Amino acid sequence: MGKNGCIKCGHTEAKTKEIATTGTGLSSLDVQHNHFTVVYCTSCGYSELYNKSSSRGSNIIDLFFGG
């Protein structure tokens, strides 16, 4: 995976999950229109959110590790 490792613990393994959230204004309608990829360290759990619409196919795990 990445060369630098997790910024919190230095571990070099991460996984991803997809989530959807509600936004402001429409939250009373419970419309989940914001989609994110969560990248998290498998050792300490440190996580970062990446907007799916702006990731453009780049390797987000490399971004997570600073690569």
pLDDT confidence tier of residue 21, bands split at 50, 70 and 90: confident
Q: Is the pLDDT of residue 30 over 70?
A: no
Q: What residue segments make up the domains of the chain, in order of their start?
A: 1-22+33-66
For CA atoms 25, 34, 20, 41, the dihedral sign is negative
Tally the residues of the chain: 67
Distance from the first to the final alpha carbon of the chain: 10
Q: Is the pLDDT of residue 42 over 50?
A: yes
pTM over 0.85: no
pLDDT confidence tier of residue 41, bands split at 50, 70 and 90: very high
- Name the average pLDDT for the chain: 82
